């Protein structure tokens, strides 16, 4: 029976989960884990299938608004509204994916962008439902997870469960076929795989878990801000994924942590923190495309004298 | 019922350009049939019509009694059809064994989507992979990254991907293109070893290779069939000599 | 009511012509690089802000409109030669993400340099006031804007279709490899095309200042619209971008009469439908 995660990943996850709430307020630590889920999910598209989507904020926001509205308007507890939001996001991803996934890279980017904007403006204008520009406030947690520590534990559990499910997915035959599609779509089709169908599956998985992340997010601060469904946040999620390392399963979580640190900590000292983010992003794109995880692997390989292994082996071994 | 590959009046026009014009031929099961012709003769276009990369403007391609023209490329393996590519086409971020897995798995599990068990959980698939690697001589590289292989070995990997599902029909597009003399020998030796067990259609330029291994040859010229026959018949054919072989041969 | 519609039509034409300039600029870069230029909005914004500074320094709007866009071109040259060029051998996605990162940096740079509060630029005295068109009395500047942008578009069209350089630019958009095979230094063509695209964006920003004002987010607001223009026009069609820009400008200003919120959603629905039903756009060649 193959191990699900390799040792470095396990160590990293444990250190992260235990250490985060001491470095940040527990509620911010929960935010990191939430964004981590979204980033890992987005990487199913980007790193594993080679699809760059500028529409992931659409699903994050959809999940957030869905859970938020079900809880504030219809009194549903988080334990019901979060799964409901996840299902809703999956359905939306399926419908939108039907239209998008068979398009080539350029069109795929433009159309995911277009859908993102469409949904953004719906959220912006439908003020009675979503609160419009001011966002949706008053999203209350159920009593049992109301204080910040128990909510953090709740988030940790969802984070671990999500990682396990997504890791099983990438280790599965479907996960490997997606990687084959990323490397050589024409050959993958010639060997008999319906590329469009598999891309749709990846799109739905990514949308579903990003929606789950959004749903939990609405309970983190108790509010759904409109900027989380804006196309620029789509870019931010891609930034997290790339910065952490799109060639690794757990890498994107590192990117999510860095992004949150910039947003929550650096922002207190400098209003122009997005510029730092932009500069880091530009540097990553120019010089460090494998991201932090990629660089860590190179350093580790040199330190232990191991020869470099195939990207797929690393991905499957769960780094 | 006739098995084997049949091209029936296949034409492919690009506007006014008749790249392939009314080409017909038949390949009996187990035979090795080569398509030759000067550059621009329409060989690759015809090949792409057979593999469904292109749809014929008119005419039909049939295999094993089924019509395969008009289908999408990923539907062809279900009929036992596999192809290799002229410019080596592999999965660069996977290992050698994982490359072969992509086609071996499809043969084993059909179009079912599996998301829970690990990719290597099927021992039958793993056995097929290693059998195929053995056959092409790449067993010792099974866990190496595909990109670590030498140029000629990558071409063998390309074949291995086509061979793993044990297809009935093998379509090989210039299998020796760009290979050194030594690697050309290795590839030809491999293909000769496949004769009889597989129906093979080949596009090839290297005449010594063609003459040596083909059962039948179709010569194309400006999109049409100039001649068809056994290697001896083609060698003796004056029209072919004039159009293609020149004063040699 | 008819006066309202007429004036909204003219307003739509004015913003539409600005959109057309931005759209053509994006088409040039899109056709050449095969990626949507995420920094295009930022170039537009810098056109406006450079204009503002030159107006403050020299008092002359006309000088500012001349110099501002040229400064944007300079900026674009640096961007292209130091940044994008390094990524030509890398995957398309990275070029796109680099430009996205630059958009972020540039927007923050605007706030750093000029502050977070919006500005306005006064209409030049000669063009302030109104013109009596008979059926309607209409602001002079907007009329001048319409006329000026039409002239610029014609000049651009002539450049692209009647000059050798223009032909090379058009060829580069159609078929990059062919142009380099023909012996032209493809890097120079890229730089030229990118510069031209940037110039148009900067010029649109400059001309827009008296009617739209300036805010740091004006670039991020313009960017999605420029994408819609290009998609509806058809990637690679310059005439289409002009037509599409005008169409969208008029559609927006007319919808605001009856259903303001819809004007924004409608254009994205149009974009989505176009990609689904007719991916080559209204006039596209690919």
- 3-class DSSP string for B87-142: CCCCCCCCEHHHHHHHHHHHHHHCCCCCCCCCCCCCHHHHHHHHHHHHHHCCHHHC
At residue C117, what are phi and psi to the nearest 5 degrees? -90, 145
Q: Encode C64-73: b = buried (16+ Cβ within 10 Å), e = exposed.
A: bbebbbbbbb
Partner A contacted by B120 (CB < 8 A) = yes
Predicted pLDDT at C169: 80
Listed by number, the residues of chain A in 282-311 with a beta carbon closer than 8 Å to a beta carbon of chain B are: 309-311
Please give the Cα distance from B55 to A120 (Å, whole number).
41
Does position C33 have pLDDT exceeding 80, yes or no?
A: no
Shortest alpha-carbon distance between residue A28 and chain B (Å)? 33
Q: Helices marked H in A101-228 — which ranges? A: 105-125, 127-130, 148-171, 173-183, 185-190, 195-220
Q: How far apart are the first and last CA of chain A?
A: 17
Q: Which of A114, A125, A272 sits opposite C268 (nearest CB)?
A: A114
Residues with Cβ within 8 Å of C199's Cβ and at least 6 positions away in sequence, in order, are: C25, C69, C70, C72, C73, C76
Listed by number, the residues of chain A in 199-258 with a beta carbon closer than 8 Å to a beta carbon of chain B are: 201
Predicted pLDDT at A264: 86
Average pLDDT of span C89-107: 90
Residues of chain C in contact with residue A55, where contact means CB-CB under 8 angstroms, are none
Partner B contacted by A316 (CB < 8 A) = yes
Please give the Cα distance from C158 to C168 (Å, whole number).
13
Q: What is the pLDDT of residues C117-139, one digit of tens each?
A: 988 887 887 778 888 877 788 88
Q: What is the pLDDT of residues C175-206, one digit of tens each?
A: 666 666 776 677 788 888 899 999 999 999 99
Partner A contacted by B230 (CB < 8 A) = no
Q: What is the pLDDT of residues A103-112, one digit of tens each?
A: 888 888 988 9
Q: Does C touch A (3+ CB pairs < 8 Å)?
A: yes
Please give the Cα distance from A85 to A94 (Å, whole number).
14
Inter-chain CB proximity C220 and A274 less than 8 Å: no
Please give the DSSP secondary-structure letter assigned to residue B144: S
Q: Give, in order, the Cα–Cα distances in Å from C87 to each of A234, C81, C98.
A: 22, 10, 9
CB A209 within 8 A of CB A40: yes
Q: What is the pLDDT of residues C58-75, one digit of tens each?
A: 988 889 999 999 999 999
Residues of chain A in contact with residue B98, where contact means CB-CB under 8 angstroms, are 176, 310, 312
Partner C contacted by A121 (CB < 8 A) = yes
- Closest residue in C to A54 (Cα–Cα): C97
Band of pLDDT at residue C166, cut at 50, 70 and 90? confident
Widest CA span in chain B: 63
Please give the DSSP secondary-structure letter assigned to residue B145: B
Average pLDDT of span B82-106: 93
Please give the Cα distance from B150 to B102 (Å, whole number).
21
Please give the Cα distance from B75 to B63 (Å, whole number).
13
Predicted pLDDT at A317: 45
Does position B155 have pLDDT exceeding 80, yes or no?
A: yes
Beta-sheet pairing, B5-14 with B58-63:
antiparallel
Predicted pLDDT at A91: 97
Query: Closest Cα partner for C198 from C43, C41, C94?
Result: C43
Helix, strand, coil percent content, chain B, rounded in steps of 5: 40, 25, 35
Please give the Cα distance from A79 to A1 (Å, whole number).
33
HSE-up (13 A, CA, CB side) for residue C44: 34
Does position B247 have pLDDT exceeding 80, yes or no?
A: no
Shortest alpha-carbon distance between residue A27 and chain B (Å)? 33
Q: Which of B72, B85, B102 sits opposite A177 (nearest CB)?
A: B102
Chains in touch with A (3+ beta-carbon pairs under 8 Å) read B, C
Predicted pLDDT at C273: 81
Q: What is the mean pLDDT of chain C?
A: 86
Following DSSP, what letter does each residue of C132-170 receive, concatenated?
A: E-SS-EEEHHHHHHHHHHHHHHHHHHHHHHHSHHHHHHH
Shortest alpha-carbon distance between residue C139 and chain A (Å)? 31
- Closest residue in B to A181 (Cα–Cα): B91
Query: Closest Cα partner for C243 from C9, C10, C23, C11?
Result: C23
Q: What is the pLDDT of residues A134-192, one digit of tens each?
A: 899 989 898 888 889 999 999 999 999 999 999 999 999 999 999 999 999 999 999 99
Shortest alpha-carbon distance between residue B31 and chain A (Å)? 22
Inter-chain CB proximity A184 and B146 less than 8 Å: no
Cβ burial, residue C82 (10 Å; 0-12/13-18/19+): exposed
Helix (H) or strand (E) holding A58: helix A56-72
Does position B32 have pLDDT exceeding 90, yes or no?
A: yes
CB A121 within 8 A of CB C265: yes
Helix (H) or strand (E) holding C67: helix C61-78
Any idea which of C34-38, C88-92, C219-223 has the lowest mean pLDDT? C88-92
Partner C contacted by A127 (CB < 8 A) = no
Partner A contacted by B123 (CB < 8 A) = no
Inter-chain CB proximity A124 and C101 less than 8 Å: no
Residues of chain B in contact with residue A50, where contact means CB-CB under 8 angstroms, are none
Band of pLDDT at residue C286, cut at 50, 70 and 90? low
Query: Strand runs (DSSP E) across chain B, as ranges?
Result: 5-14, 17-27, 32-36, 58-63, 66-67, 81-83, 169-173, 199-203, 216-221, 224-229
Partner A contacted by C100 (CB < 8 A) = yes
Q: Across-strand partners of B11?
A: B58
Residues with Cβ within 8 Å of B47's Cβ and at least 6 positions away in sequence, in order, are: B35, B171, B173, B201, B203
Inter-chain CB proximity C107 and A107 less than 8 Å: no
CB B226 within 8 A of CB B42: no
Shortest alpha-carbon distance between residue B170 and chain A (Å)? 12
Predicted pLDDT at C275: 76
Predicted pLDDT at A220: 94
* Most confident among B122-131, B191-200, C29-38, C229-238 (mean pLDDT): B122-131
Please give the Cα distance from A53 to A291 (Å, whole number).
18
Predicted pLDDT at A237: 96
CB B202 within 8 A of CB B37: no
Please report the number of interchain residue pairs, chain A to chain C, with beta-carbon separation below 8 angstroms.
Answer: 107
Please report the number of interchain residue pairs, chain A to chain B, with beta-carbon separation below 8 angstroms.
Answer: 116
Q: What is the CA radius of gyration of chain C?
A: 19
Inter-chain CB proximity A194 and B101 less than 8 Å: no
Average pLDDT of span B100-109: 94
Predicted pLDDT at A71: 94
Q: Which of C227, C264, C279 sits opposite A121 (nearest CB)?
A: C264
Q: Across-strand partners of B14?
A: B17
Inter-chain CB proximity A174 and B94 less than 8 Å: no
* Most confident among A109-113, A118-122, B98-102, C160-164 (mean pLDDT): B98-102
All residue ranges of chain A with pLDDT < 70 are: 1-3, 305-319
Inter-chain CB proximity B91 and A177 less than 8 Å: no
CB A213 within 8 A of CB A66: no
């Amino acid at each position: 029976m193959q191990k699900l995660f390799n040792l470095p990943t396990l160590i990293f996850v444990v250190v992260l989960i235990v250490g985060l709430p001491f470095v940040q307020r527990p509620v911010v630590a929960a935010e990191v884990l939430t964004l981590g889920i979204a980033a890992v999910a987005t990487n199913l598209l980007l790193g594993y299938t080679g699809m760059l989507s500028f529409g992931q904020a659409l699903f994050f926001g959809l999940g957030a608004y869905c859970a938020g509205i079900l809880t504030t308007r219809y009194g549903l507890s988080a334990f019901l509204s979060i799964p409901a939001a996840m299902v809703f996001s999956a359905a939306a991803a399926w419908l939108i994916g039907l239209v998008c996934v068979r398009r080539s890279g350029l069109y795929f980017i433009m159309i995911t962008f277009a859908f993102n904007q469409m949904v953004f403006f719906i959220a912006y204008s439908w003020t009675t439902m979503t609160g419009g520009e001011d966002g949706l406030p008053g999203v209350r947690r159920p009593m049992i997870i109301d204080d910040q520590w128990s909510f953090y534990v709740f988030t940790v559990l969802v984070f671990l469960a999500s990682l396990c499910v997504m890791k099983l997915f990438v280790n599965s035959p479907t996960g490997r076929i997606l990687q084959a599609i990323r490397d050589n779509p024409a050959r993958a089709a010639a060997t008999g795989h319906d590329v469009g169908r598999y891309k749709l599956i990846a799109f739905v998985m990514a949308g579903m878990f990003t929606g789950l992340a959004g749903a939990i997010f609405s309970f983190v601060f108790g509010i759904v801000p409109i900027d989380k469904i804006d196309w620029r946040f789509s870019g931010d999620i891609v930034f997290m994924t790339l910065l952490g390392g799109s060639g690794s399963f757990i890498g994107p979580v590192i990117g999510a942590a860095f992004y949150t640190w910039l947003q929550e900590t650096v922002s207190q000292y400098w209003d122009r923190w997005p510029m730092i983010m932009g500069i880091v992003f530009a540097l990553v794109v120019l010089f460090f495309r494998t991201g932090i995880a990629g660089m860590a692997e190179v350093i580790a390989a040199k330190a232990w004298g191991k020869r470099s292994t195939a990207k797929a082996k690393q991905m499957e071994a769960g780094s | 019922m006739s098995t084997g590959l049949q091209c029936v009046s296949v034409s492919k026009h690009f506007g006014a350009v008749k790249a392939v014009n009314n080409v017909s031929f038949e390949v009996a099961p187990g035979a090795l049939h080569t398509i030759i012709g000067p550059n621009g003769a329409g060989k690759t276009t015809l090949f792409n019509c057979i593999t469904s990369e292109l749809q014929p403007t008119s005419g039909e391609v049939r295999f094993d009694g089924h019509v395969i023209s008009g289908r999408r490329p990923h539907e062809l393996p279900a009929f036992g059809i596999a192809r290799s590519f002229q410019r080596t086409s592999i999965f660069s971020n996977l290992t050698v064994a994982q490359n072969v897995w992509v086609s071996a798995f499809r043969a084993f599990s059909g179009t079912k989507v599996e998301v829970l068990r690990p990719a290597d959980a099927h021992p039958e698939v793993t056995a097929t992979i290693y059998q195929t690697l053995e056959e092409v001589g790449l067993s010792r590289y099974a866990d190496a990254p595909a990109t670590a292989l030498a140029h000629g070995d990558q071409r063998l990997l390309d074949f291995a991907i086509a061979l793993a599902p044990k297809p009935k029909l093998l379509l090989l597009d210039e299998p020796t293109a760009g290979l050194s003399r030594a690697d050309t020998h290795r590839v030809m030796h491999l293909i000769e070893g496949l004769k009889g067990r597989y129906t093979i259609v080949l596009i090839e330029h290297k005449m010594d290779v063609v003459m040596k291994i083909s059962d039948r040859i179709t010569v194309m010229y400006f999109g049409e069939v100039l001649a068809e026959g056994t290697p001896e018949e083609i060698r003796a054919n004056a029209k072919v000599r004039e159009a293609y072989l020149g004063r040699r041969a | 009511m008819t006066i309202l519609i007429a004036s909204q039509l003219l307003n739509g034409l004015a913003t539409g012509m600005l959109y057309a300039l931005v759209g053509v600029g994006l088409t040039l870069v899109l056709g050449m690089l095969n990626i949507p230029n995420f920094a295009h909005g930022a170039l537009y914004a810098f056109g406006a802000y450079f204009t503002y500074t030159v107006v403050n320094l020299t008092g002359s709007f006309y000088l500012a409109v001349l110099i501002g866009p040229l400064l944007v071109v300079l900026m674009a040259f640096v961007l292209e030669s130091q940044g994008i060029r390094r990524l030509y051998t890398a995957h398309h996605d990275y070029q796109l993400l680099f430009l996205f990162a630059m958009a972020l940096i540039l927007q923050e740079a605007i706030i750093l340099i000029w502050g977070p509060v919006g500005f306005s630029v006064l209409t030049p005295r000669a063009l302030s006031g109104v013109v009596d068109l008979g059926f309607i009395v209409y602001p002079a500047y907007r009329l001048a804007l319409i006329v000026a942008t039409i002239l610029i578009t014609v000049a651009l069209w002539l450049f692209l279709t009647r000059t050798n350089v223009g032909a090379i630019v058009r060829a580069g958009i159609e078929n990059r490899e062919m142009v380099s095979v023909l012996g032209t230094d493809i890097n120079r063509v890229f730089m030229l095309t990118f510069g031209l695209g940037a110039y148009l964006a900067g010029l649109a920003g400059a001309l827009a200042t008296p009617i739209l004002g300036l805010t740091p987010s004006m670039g991020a607001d313009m960017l999605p619209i420029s994408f819609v223009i290009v998609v509806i026009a058809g990637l690679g069609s310059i005439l289409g971008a002009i037509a599409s820009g005008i169409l969208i400008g008029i559609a927006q200003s007319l919808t605001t009469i009856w259903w303001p919120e819809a004007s924004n959603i409608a254009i994205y629905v149009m974009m989505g439908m176009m990609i689904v039903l007719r991916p080559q756009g209204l006039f596209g060649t690919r």
